[in-house]
Chain A
Amino acid sequence: MPLGTYKEAVSARSTEKRIQDVSQDGGIVSALLCYALDEGIIEGAVVAGTPDKNWRPVPTVVTSADEVIEAAGTKYSMSPTLSALKEATRQYGLEKVGVVTTPCQTQGLRKAQAYPFSRFVADKIKLIVGIYCMENFPMASLDTFATAKLGFDDLTDASKMDIGKGKFWLTKDGEDKGLAIKETHGYEQAGCNICNDYVAEWADVSTGSVGSPDGWSTVLTRTDAGSDVFSKAVDAGLIETKPMDDVKPGLPLLEKLAKGKKDKNKKERERRAKMGVKIPTIY
């Protein structure tokens, strides 16, 4: 199953204006974190922020709705987010922590729960919000897209960054400039090429833009914890939903992309194994 195990798939968006203003798509991650913080389901969360507003992600501990909103929006470069779990549990002393993770980070986190080699961290993870991820770029790749390929003076001139409709988009002075996704191939980090997960299959709840219309996100609830917090946030009126069957392009596109990533990267795994270089041991 290309989307992993899930309970429910819906199209959704935050109903809050101040989240909609800053969110990448439907603002689901921000809405869920704000709700979970308000309700005491979590005391804080570890997220990828950009404190310097230069598109460079920095693992950040957030403990309030304001901080969540400050960190909103997708970053297309690597954030060693899990490293900040130490800060969250030790310096902040948080007992109930949420984490926003890419698929690879979800794997690291679930491994840390299954084999808790790091003392008193794994048991404090109460909510894993996974985000769909095809691949991730080194900062220098993003610089190249901005300057060499899209003609910006500097990456920091971009006010918004997005991937959608087959293009990598940068926005400057209200004008969107797009670069065909094909043009970005070869600029992603090599570790992404063997990843078999597009939709954060091991998260409590996963979300991303693919499958839903502009301004909406496709949500997959997976565990009881994820399903519980999502449905409560919907009941509280913080999130509105539409059935996936009623939206375009719908789940088939998400399934197609997820399967495409699996197929392509399985081949890469096999290619590397054949060469005799390392690939992860699977137990």
Chain B
Amino acid sequence: MFDGIKKIFGGSSEPAPKTEKKAEAAPKTPKSAPAEKSKAASSKPRIGYIHLSGCTGDAMSLTENYDILSTVLTDMVDIVYGQTLVDKWIHGTFAEEMPEMDLCLIEGSVCLQDEHSVHELLEARKKSGLIAAFGSCAITGCFTTFARGGQQAQPKHESFLPISSLVKVDVALPGCPVAPEMIAKTVVALCEGDLDYLKPAMDWAACDQGCGCDVLTNVIRQGLCTGCGTCALACPTRAMGFSEGRPSCDRDRCIKCGSCYMMCPRSWLPEGRIKKETGL
């Protein structure tokens, strides 16, 4: 089901966003699977869910898709790894090996001083065809950016990095948390191999920072802002106010999730998709 997408990620002619050496996906064993697949259980994409340093908001958003969740879990995907979802973890008393995955969703930033997190993330990159930074903590660090250590129960835990600092990320879904509807549409697009829909999230994979200042530096300062208000609609902490028709970010409230710039119609505009959905 994900073959087309994997091909794109594997054989993209686009310049790699990062030049540093990153842990890359293990070379995929060439699959001779035909394009038309049966609905056999074995052909379902194998999904993993890893929870690093975050608040579980993204997982909760995922489960808010009550109406499609049972279908997704029963008929469309196999969850093969995840501490919460399927009680599988590579650490602890009943540690087991991480299975091969087609897609691994990673929630939360990675704490450099947490050996379990670092190990689990690096292992996931080896075992999974695709890595999705799921939610803003994984993409930009979001509010964990402000951690400084010195807290209980682990005073040494102070460096919380975007996961792209350690591994190559293939898809990024921002949000604090990711909106349930966005998750649903992405799941559908993944299962249908709708690359057009996923392209913005794929292009966002290289992103490792976000801030309310993005609309200042990348939109207002570029002479692109029209003062429409979409950024303020996107902001989950209401950090975005307006002054003289321009967004003005209260940086004490900004959690660096990157939603404002992601939502701005002047950062990118999905013309094709809008026309398709509205028939206009």
Instruction: List A residues at the B interface (Cβ < 8 Å).
Output: 4-5, 59, 77-86, 102, 104-105, 107-123, 136, 138-140, 189-195, 201-202, 222-223, 272, 277-283
Most-contacted residue by chain B among A102, A114, A202, A272 (CB, 10 A): A114
Contacts of A278 in B (CB 8 A): 218, 222, 224
Interface residues of B in 221-275 (CB under 8 A from A): 222-234, 238, 240, 242, 244-247, 259, 262-274
Instruction: List B residues at the A interface (Cβ < 8 Å).
Output: 61, 174-175, 177-182, 185, 196, 199-200, 203, 218, 222-234, 238, 240, 242, 244-247, 259, 262-274, 277-280
Which of B174, B196, B232 is A82 in contact with, Cβ under 8 Å?
B232
- The answer to whether A81 and B226 have CB atoms under 8 Å apart is no
Measured between C-beta atoms, what is the minimum distance from B270 to chain A in Å?
5
Contacts of B230 in A (CB 8 A): 82, 105, 108-109, 111-112
- 15 A-B pairs within 8 Å (CB atoms) are namely A85-B233, A102-B226, A102-B228, A107-B265, A107-B274, A115-B182, A116-B181, A117-B175, A119-B180, A136-B245, A191-B223, A222-B280, A277-B222, A283-B269, A283-B271
| CA of A104 to CA of B269, assembled, Å | 11
- The answer to whether A108 and B229 have CB atoms under 8 Å apart is yes
Measured between C-beta atoms, what is the minimum distance from A143 to chain B in Å?
12
| CA of A109 to CA of B265, assembled, Å | 8
Contacts of A80 in B (CB 8 A): 227-229, 232, 242, 245, 247
Q: A115-B200, A202-B274, A223-B279 given as contacts; is B229 within 8 A of A84 (CB)?
A: yes
Closest CB pairs A-B (n = 9): A78-B245, A80-B229, A78-B227, A83-B232, A108-B230, A83-B229, A82-B229, A119-B179, A190-B223
- The answer to whether A117 and B273 have CB atoms under 8 Å apart is no
Measured between C-beta atoms, what is the minimum distance from A61 to chain B in Å?
13
Contacts of A281 in B (CB 8 A): 203, 267-269
Additional 14 contacts, C-beta under 8 A, given A108-B228, A281-B203: A5-B279, A79-B227, A79-B245, A85-B233, A105-B226, A111-B265, A112-B234, A118-B234, A189-B225, A202-B280, A223-B278, A280-B224, A282-B268, A283-B268
Q: A82-B228, A117-B174, A222-B280 given as contacts; is B233 within 8 A of A112 (CB)?
A: yes
- The answer to whether B200 and A279 have CB atoms under 8 Å apart is no
- The answer to whether A283 and B272 have CB atoms under 8 Å apart is yes
| CA of A113 to CA of B259, assembled, Å | 15
- The answer to whether A105 and B270 have CB atoms under 8 Å apart is no
Most-contacted residue by chain A among B199, B238, B280 (CB, 10 A): B280
Contacts of B280 in A (CB 8 A): 4-5, 201-202, 222-223
Question: For chains A and B in complex, what number of residue pairs have CB atoms within 8 angstroms?
Answer: 179
Classify the interface of chain B: helix, strand, loop or mixed. Answer: mixed
Contacts of A86 in B (CB 8 A): 232-233, 238
Closest to A225 in B: B278
Closest to B185 in A: A116
Most-contacted residue by chain B among A77, A136, A138, A278 (CB, 10 A): A278
Q: A80-B245, A119-B179, A138-B245 given as contacts; is B269 within 8 A of A282 (CB)?
A: yes
Contacts of B224 in A (CB 8 A): 190-191, 194, 278-280
Contacts of A105 in B (CB 8 A): 226, 228-230
Contacts of A79 in B (CB 8 A): 227, 229, 245
Contacts of B232 in A (CB 8 A): 80, 82-83, 86
Q: A5-B279, A118-B233, A202-B280 given as contacts; is B181 within 8 A of A191 (CB)?
A: no
Q: A108-B264, A114-B274 given as contacts; is B244 within 8 A of A81 (CB)?
A: no
- The answer to whether A117 and B234 have CB atoms under 8 Å apart is yes
Contacts of B196 in A (CB 8 A): 283
Contacts of B264 in A (CB 8 A): 108
| CA of A194 to CA of B266, assembled, Å | 10
Q: A77-B245, A104-B228 given as contacts; is B269 within 8 A of A280 (CB)?
A: yes
- The answer to whether A280 and B263 have CB atoms under 8 Å apart is no
- The answer to whether A110 and B267 have CB atoms under 8 Å apart is no
Contacts of A109 in B (CB 8 A): 230
Q: A102-B228, A114-B277, A201-B280 given as contacts; is B265 within 8 A of A121 (CB)?
A: no
Measured between C-beta atoms, what is the minimum distance from A190 to chain B in Å?
4
Closest to A194 in B: B224
| CA of A281 to CA of B269, assembled, Å | 6
Q: A116-B179, A222-B280 given as contacts; is B267 within 8 A of A280 (CB)?
A: yes
- The answer to whether A115 and B270 have CB atoms under 8 Å apart is yes
- The answer to whether B225 and A191 have CB atoms under 8 Å apart is yes
Q: A80-B232, A191-B223, A192-B226 given as contacts; is B265 within 8 A of A118 (CB)?
A: no
| CA of A277 to CA of B178, assembled, Å | 30
Contacts of B181 in A (CB 8 A): 116, 119-120, 122-123
- The answer to whether A136 and B274 have CB atoms under 8 Å apart is no
Most-contacted residue by chain B among A107, A139, A190, A191 (CB, 10 A): A191
| CA of A192 to CA of B180, assembled, Å | 33
| CA of A189 to CA of B227, assembled, Å | 10
| CA of A202 to CA of B230, assembled, Å | 16
